[in-house]
């Protein structure tokens, strides 16, 4: 995978998507920015970030993903890979269903994914050094370049979904003390059932994402 570093950009996610649609991207590619001014967060909210935090977007051809990975589960898969990498460095960050990274009960980052043509595109944001009000930042120190390079190496190992899911099942229990907004209503996750494809049963509906 080629890795590109940009000094400053509005959004790595929007830039990468635009390049794919223009057919400028020919291979699996990761783009990270030292400063991002208009990031995109969950439910299309603005992701407020600062220089020194992780602003990463990457695209992977669907054929280069693990053979057992459901497309509906890619956000959980990518987020758990990052969470696991940070855990190896001593972090207590955990993955809240379906794509938010938390430290204790405060958000520290997030992941969003979708498909464009033959590519699955993923955007990642992680507060490494700075956090807005009501959020927090990472509990271990790591340089952006180092984190990106190590994450890409993990990604290219193509761990099977069943390996990742077996770990995530245990972590999902932490999500049950939270509530989520879905279709304009607030639902408690305490009674949610987790399926093997990463979706949950919520209010008698199969839910794959809150976006």
What are the boundaries of each domain within the chain? Answer: 2-172
Question: What letter does residue 15 receive in the DSSP assignment?
Answer: H
> How many Cβ atoms from other residues are within 10 Å of residue 191's Cβ?
11
What's the sign of the alpha-carbon dihedral 176, 178, 180, 186? positive
d(CA 48, CA 112): 15
User: What is the crossing angle of helices 74-87 and 161-175, to 10°?
Assistant: 80
Q: E strands along the chain, which residues?
A: 2-9, 29-36, 39-40, 46-47, 54-61, 94-96, 100-103, 106-116, 119-126, 179-182, 185-188, 193-194, 200-202, 205-207
Q: What is the pLDDT along the chain (211 residues), one digit of tens a residue?
A: 999 999 999 999 999 999 999 999 999 999 999 998 876 655 455 555 678 999 999 999 999 999 999 999 999 999 999 999 999 999 999 999 989 999 999 999 999 999 999 999 999 999 999 988 889 999 999 999 999 999 999 999 999 999 999 999 999 999 999 999 888 889 999 989 999 999 999 988 999 887 6
Q: What was the pLDDT predicted at 211?
A: 67
pTM of the model: 0.92
Tokens, residue 99: 């794509």
Q: Are 126 and 109 in contact (CB under 8 A)?
A: yes
Q: What was the pLDDT predicted at 36?
A: 86
Tokens, residue 101: 């990274």
Q: What was the pLDDT predicted at 47?
A: 56
d(CA 94, CA 103): 6
Q: Any idea which fold 2-172 has?
A: BirA Bifunctional Protein; domain 2 (3.30.930)
Q: What was the pLDDT predicted at 49?
A: 65
């Amino acid at each position: 995978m080629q890795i590109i570093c940009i000094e400053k950009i509005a959004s790595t996610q929007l830039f990468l998507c635009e390049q794919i649609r223009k057919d400028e991207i020919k291979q699996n590619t990761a783009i990270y920015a030292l400063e991002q001014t208009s990031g995109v967060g969950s439910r299309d909210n603005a992701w407020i970030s600062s220089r020194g935090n992780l602003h990463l977007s990457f695209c992977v051809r669907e054929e280069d993903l693990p053979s057992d990975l459901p497309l509906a589960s890619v956000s959980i898969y990518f987020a758990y890979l990052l969470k696991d990498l940070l855990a190896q460095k001593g972090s207590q960050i955990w993955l809240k269903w379906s794509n938010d990274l938390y430290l204790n009960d405060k958000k520290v980052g997030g992941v969003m994914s979708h498909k464009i043509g033959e590519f699955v595109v993923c955007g990642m944001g992680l507060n490494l050094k700075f956090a807005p009000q009501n959020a927090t930042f990472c509990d271990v120190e790591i340089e952006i370049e180092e984190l990106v390079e190590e994450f890409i190496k993990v990604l290219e190992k193509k761990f099977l979904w069943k390996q990742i899911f077996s770990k995530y099942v245990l972590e999902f229990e932490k999500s049950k003390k939270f509530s989520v907004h879905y279709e304009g209503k607030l639902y408690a996750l305490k009674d949610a059932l987790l399926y093997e494809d990463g979706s949950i049963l919520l209010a008698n509906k199969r839910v794959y994402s809150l976006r």
